[in-house]
Amino acid sequence: MLSRDEITRYSRNILLPEVRKSGQEKLKSSSVLVVGAGGIGSPVLTYLAASGIGRIRCVDSDHLDLTNLQRQVLYRTGGVGSPKIDLAREQIHSLNPNLELDFRMERFSDKNAKDLVTGMDLVIETSDNFPTKFLVSDVCVENRIDYIAGGILRFDGQVLCVRPGQSACYRCIFENMPEEGSVPNCAAAGVIGAVAGVIGSIMAGEAVKILLGRDESFGLLQQYNLLESRFRSLRITRRSECTCGRKSLPK
Ligand SMILES: [Zn+2]
């Protein structure tokens, strides 16, 4: 049930026929894990919290660095040197004190992955490295939890929404992990900060849609290029020999 204060706070959501009070109650009873509180994680966490997602879990193990401030809009200059997860928790709690926040200074690894995704309705992967991206995909496929993967580099960004067993997973597109150093990351090749904002905002919007029960985004790879001012959506089919097919069970 929503309090009077919550009905006011979320009134612009509730006005939408696709949301209404029942949809807002669904968002309140939803739980989301956000992997990473960086450039993409900043807008994701902000919009999830502002939208009233009732339970948000987040993991990040870094300390705030001066180079982060160019795109990680959750943070302020005075926070440089502090654990990002503490700064993020404070910021998100002050935005919306109604939420249950479970923010942990941990790195998403094969040791804690299963524990972190258990009980979550949705996982949002915002990391900047391939081992984490593949691990999130594999653990979500194994546990049949919907997830959204996002990536940015230079002027480009992409988003993939996955319903394991039904739509293409990360491994359906990228079969094996690229060799270390063969694909540049943002630290080596750069990125425009606003591209992180665009991609994170798309991911948060997709999360709200999925939690409201809509499934039209699964199987689409959404791509954005700032230099060409272009958005496109590609329909991705599952690779029949992918592990997500082998592990697929009727839901
Ligand atoms: Zn797959």
The crossing angle, in degrees rounded to 10, of helices 193-211 and 20-28 is 110
The structural domains of the chain, with segments of one domain joined by +, span 4-246
Helix (H, G, I), strand (E, B) or coil at 154: strand
As a residue count, the chain comes to 251
CB-based contact 149:125 (threshold 8 Å): yes
242 C-alpha to ligand 1 centroid (Å): 5
**Whole-model pTM above 0.75?**
yes
% of the chain residues with pLDDT over 70 = 98
122 C-alpha to ligand 1 centroid (Å): 17
Supply the pLDDT for residue 84. Answer: 98
Helix (H, G, I), strand (E, B) or coil at 73: coil
165 C-alpha to ligand 1 centroid (Å): 8
Environment of ion ligand 1 (residues, CB < 5 A): 169, 171-172, 242, 244
160 C-alpha to ligand 1 centroid (Å): 12
pLDDT at residue 160 greater than cutoff 50: yes
248 C-alpha to ligand 1 centroid (Å): 10
Question: Whole-number mean pLDDT of the chain?
Answer: 95
- Token pair of 20 as six digits: 């209404």
Give tens-digit pLDDT for 57-68. Answer: 999 999 999 999
pLDDT at residue 248 greater than cutoff 70: no
168 C-alpha to ligand 1 centroid (Å): 5
220 C-alpha to ligand 1 centroid (Å): 13
pLDDT at residue 147 greater than cutoff 80: yes
Q: What is the DSSP string of 83-139?
A: BHHHHHHHHHHHH-TTSEEEEE-----TTTHHHHHTT-SEEEE--SSHHHHHHHHHH
Question: Which region among 138-142, 176-180, 186-190 has the lowest average model confidence (pLDDT)?
Answer: 176-180
Distances (CA, A) of 157 to 56, 202, 221, 224: 24, 10, 10, 5
CATH architecture, domain 4-246: 3-Layer(aba) Sandwich (3.40)
Q: How many CB atoms lie within 10 A of CB 128?
A: 18
pLDDT at residue 251 greater than cutoff 50: no
